[in-house]
Amino acid sequence: AQSVAQPEDQVNVAEGNPLTVKCTYSVSGNPYLFWYVQYPNRGLQFLLKYITGDNLVKGSYGFEAEFNKSQTSFHLKKPSALVSDSALYFCAVRVVYGNKLVFGAGTILRVKS
């Protein structure tokens, strides 16, 4: 069975500091991994994905994520946080050729000025 864990309900960061939002996953087989962001009263926006190849994936708004197969992790990072990055972030996993996208519970990111 597929599962995703986002161990932190909330991450607080000062503006200008680096941020990390953690995600670990469990699948049987090779994974596709995704990060989505949800701003208040908005739908989910796609940020980035890992399919294959380079373990460091770059996405929208300056975000990046590193796929670590041995640790089954896909942490979201940004070198310098902005107040406008404050939102709810979801990690998701899908098995290659699978039909189901499984989401983590979400992590609230709060960036304070």
Interaction of residue 90 with other proteins, rule CB under 8 A: yes
Interaction of residue 95 with other proteins, rule CB under 8 A: no
Q: Look at residues 17, 4, 5 and name the one whose alpha carbon lies nearest to residue 110.
A: 17
Of 21 and 104, the one with the shorter C-beta distance to other proteins is: 104
Q: How many residues bind other proteins (CB under 8 A)?
A: 24
Rounded CA gap, 40 and 9, in Å? 16
Q: Whole-number minimum distance, CB 35 to other proteins, in Å? A: 11
Rounded CA gap, 47 and 62, in Å? 10
Of 15 and 94, the one with the shorter C-beta distance to other proteins is: 94
Rounded CA gap, 103 and 56, in Å? 21
Interaction of residue 49 with other proteins, rule CB under 8 A: yes
Binding test (CB under 8 A) with other proteins, winner from 20, 22, 44, 72: 44
Which residues, in sequence order, are CB contacts of 27 under 8 Å at separation 6+?
A: 2, 93, 95
Q: Residues 22, 37: contact at Cβ < 8 Å?
A: no
Interaction of residue 7 with other proteins, rule CB under 8 A: no
Binding site for other proteins (CB under 8 A): 4, 6, 9, 32, 34, 36, 42-46, 49, 51, 90, 92, 94, 99-106
